Every structure is written in structure tokens, then in C-alpha cells.
Structure 1
Amino acid sequence: MLLLALSDAHIPDREKDVPAKFKKLLSVPDKISQVVLLGNCTKSLSFLQFVNGISTNVVIVRGEFDNGTIATTKKSHEDIPINTIIKQGNFRIGCCNGYTVVPKSDPLSLLTLARQLDVDIVLWGGTHNVEAYTLEGKFFINPGSCTGAFSTDWVVQDRDLVSENSTEAKGDNAQEDEKQEKGQSAQPQQDHEQDGKTASATENEDNVSQESPVQPGDASADPANDGKDSSDDDSDIDPADINGGCVPSFCLLDIQGSTCTLYIYTYVDQEVKVDKVVYRKDT
């Protein structure tokens, strides 16, 4: 059977919708048996309708930004649990958003939760970063954010501010080096021959500095630059490394008996990429 894990949609607060290519992949009727929403997915009616179109068997756990209740076909106000356990094949699967795990997403803390719930697989969200690993025979899966919504856990820094701070730090270091050089030149020399060498070296340095002064920001100061503008280096930095990722992703679990085949879907450069991980339960 196929189990779909979605998390951290944050619609409409942070993102408008799931990527269209994800929707096309998931809009195949009667293929997915169950959907698990791992938090921060309940504020958009259109998103919930889309999920119900995938499968009517939907399990929801509460995220950090979810309300405590949700309207269902059975009740007008049904409580959303923080943790829940589902059974598929020979597996017990624990589900949570992870914001109650301290430290957040810490492997040992998640392992403790897995032992408390007595489960084989832990599905958790809250980090917006897709992960999959095994620890002491248990399988831990984080599907990331299905919309690529930003996370408030990441610190977003302005490049200009970082550059200014770096320049100021270099200036302070240069002043300290200059003070140290002055202090060393003020000390009495013990060897007359060493005085001659020092004076000669000083004259050579003065001649070099007069012949080829280096100005701040001069491209020639860095041989590796070859006259290239420093702004060219910024083009090599992946925006995902600056703004904290924002890569849409979800996970699909194919469970057959004691074998779980995990498919990790990510949306990168307008294309869907798939990775596969196989986990077998110890019998």
C-alpha cells in the first residue's frame, strides 16, 4: 500500500499552493491508500479538499501554527492530536510535527519518542527540510515542506550587511597589526648586523609600496580574481543556502509486509527529482 506524507504547507500564510507538477503526480485516483498531514496544513480549505481528493483516509497531527481543532464530516470541532500512531503492514508508524521535541529534531530525542510510542517508523515535520535515516533499527522520515514555505528557524542575513561587517573586521585587524609592528620597531636592537638587515628590509618594503600601491577594492589585490568583479562570486552561491532552503518536497511510502520503500520527491529547478530508500524491519 502507498502512504503519502505531507507537512508544513503554510497555505495561505507563507505560500499560495503546492507546485503544479506535484499536484499532477498526486492527482491519480485510487492509488494512494492513506495521507498523513504532519502539521501546519489545516488553514487552507482548498488544500484540504485537494488532500481529500487523493485519499479519504487522512490522518492529521497538530503543528506549531495549527488551531487545536478542525471541522470534519463527523464533528464541527474535532481535536487535532499532537502525536498519533498508525499501523500499515508489519509496521507501527508514529506521527508528529516535532515542535514538541526538545531539542528540535534532535535524533536522540526522536529516538526517545519512538521508544515511548513503541513504533518502528517515525514521521515528523516542522523543519521544512527533508530527511531520512535509520537509528538503532528505527526509521526516521521528515518529508520537508510540500510547498517550499520558508521556516522561521533559519536566520536570513543580508549580503550587504555581511559584507560591511567583514570589511569592518578586516579594518580592525589591520589596525591591530599596525600597532604590533610599531611596538616591535620601537624595541632596542641587540645585534648591529640584524639592524642592517631590518633597515634594508624596511627600505625594500617602502619601495614596493611606492611603486605599486594597493587600494581597497582593487581587483589586482587578489590574484585569483583576474580583474573580475567581486559580485560575480555571489552568482555561485545557491539561493537555497541563503534563505534556508525553500525546496518543495514530500515522501511516499510503499509498505509491503516488513519492507518499506521510501520515495523522496523534491522540486528543484522546475523539475521533480526522486530518490529511493529501502528499509527492512528487523524480525
Structure 2
Amino acid sequence: MLVLVIGMLVLVTNLPDKFQQLLAPGKIEQVICTGNICDKPTFDFLRALSSELHVVRGDYDEVLPVGDKGALANLARSMGVDVLLSGATHKFEAYQYEGYFFVNPGSATGAWISESSAVCGAETWEKGPLHESGAKDTTEKPGCTAHNKTPEPRNGPPPLLNELSDGTIPSFALLDIQGPLVVVYVYQYIGGDVKVERLEYWKPMPQETTQEPAAPEPVTTLM
């Protein structure tokens, strides 16, 4: 299942052209927007990508302090989820903390950010699942995984990335959910080109315990 996680759009007219070309209807099964849609054309743009669209209410549903790992972990714990999506910081982040996996898509249009994006154990891709074909960088990098196994990459294009003159990096995330595995493609617009990074999260599975068969109860016989 492909899920687009996008946020801090403000106006779709500010979305990099190369992002708009990649974000075409028919590829994405669900869209989750972490906020700041300022007009109907921007909402309609997201609605056209998938009929299953979820958008946060606005600036009054933030977790405080904004971006605080402890506060986000408390929310994930209270909701009983394994993966928590958040926004508001205007920078991309993906990391594991206290057994949960957190993804913040950053700002798709390059709205202000306070510091550089952070990617935990990502691999660099030339293209992502939204492109016509994908090619993986062969450079070995540590993966952000909970298990020592790598699934075959899905067929089709990879995810995106973008950079403005003030150092802001427009970004969004595409989640490929495969049962207990979540593959995250980070799209960023850097130097006029779309860059893609890939990382993954495995849901920890409960360890199987083998129990020895109970000893038979002694049998009482009458003599």
C-alpha cells in the first residue's frame, strides 16, 4: 500500500514543478496531509491523488513542545500505534524512539525550517516509486531497521527532495506499507533536481516461546 505523507503546503502553486509531475493520480492509494492548506485548489490537488484523503484540522492540534520526542512517544503510546506521523516543524525527520517509528514529511513547498533535515540510516536512490524506473545507489549505508533482512525493492519509481535559495529543502514522504515492514521514500528538491532516499522500519514481532510439555499427573490405582 502506497501512502503519501505531505505537509506544510500552504499553496499548491508553490509546489516545485518536478514534484507536481511526480504526484500524478493513479499511483497513490492514500494521502495524509500534516497541515497548512490555505485554499481550495490545494485541497483539490490532494483529493485528485487519492479519494482516501486525511488532513489535520490546523494549528491547534499540535503536540507540545513541537517536535519533542518524549511528547510524541507519549502520544504514540496513548494511541496504541507503531508508526506516528507528525508535522509543524517544516523539516523532514524519520527515526525510532522508545520502540516507535516517527515520520515528519517536512514542507512540500519549502516553507521555512529551523535546521537541516534528518534521515536515520537512509539509502540514496536516483529515483523512487513515483518515477518510471528506480535505480539504487550501491554505496553501503547502515539501515534504520529492526531486523537483518532486506526485502526486494518494489517495481516502479522511487520518492522525492527540493532546495530553495534560503537553504530550505522542500520534501515529502511516500510510505510503502508491506505488512510488518514500512519502507519510507523521502523525496527532496535539491539543486533543481528531485533526490530520493530510502529507509525502512520493521515492526518488532513478539518472540515465540517454546513451552515444554507438562509432566503427566501421577495415576492413583486401587490394589
Inter-partner Cα distance in structure 1 for 2:19 and 2:10: 16
More helix by share: 1
- Residue matched to 1:45: 40
Partner Cα distance (2:7, 2:198) in 1: 19
Which of these residues, 124, 147, 166, is aligned with residue 109 of structure 2? 147
Instruction: State yes or no: 1:246 paired with 2:168.
Output: yes
1:5 aligns with 2:2: no
What do the CA deviations read for 1:7-35 (whole angstroms, capped 9, x no partner)? 111228xxx421110011111x3221000
1:262 aligns with 2:184: yes
Query: Which stretches of structure 1, 4 residues or longer, exceed 4 Å deviation after superposition?
Result: none
Provide the TM-score with structure 1 as the length reference: 0.52
Match of 2:19 in 1: 22
Runs of 5+ unmatched residues, structure 2: 116-162, 206-223
Corresponding residue SS for 2:14: coil
- Structure 1 equivalent of residue 53 of structure 2: 58
User: Does 2:30 match 1:34?
Assistant: yes
- Quick one: distance in 2 between partners of 1:102 and 1:150? 19
Root-mean-square deviation (CA, aligned residues, Å) is 2.1
1:129 aligned partner, one-letter code: K
Give deviations 1:104-124, integer Å, cap 9, x for gaps. Answer: 211111101110111111100
Distance across 2 between alignment mates of 1:145 and 1:61 = 15
What corresponds to 2:89 in structure 1? 127
Amino acid of the residue matched to residue 16 of structure 2? P
Equivalenced residue count is 158
Instruction: Summarize deviations over 1:122-178 as a string: whole Å, max 9, x none.
Output: 100111100000012211000000100125x68xxxxxxxxxxxxxxxxxxxxxxxx
Structure 2 SS opposite 1:110: helix
Percent same amino acid at aligned positions? 41
**1:17–1:47 CA contact under 8 A, matched in 2:** no
Alignment partner, residue 272 of structure 1: 194
Match of 2:71 in 1: 109
In structure 1, the gaps of 5 or more residues are 66-81, 83-99, 155-238
Bigger Rg, which one = 1
**What TM-score, normalized to structure 2?**
0.66
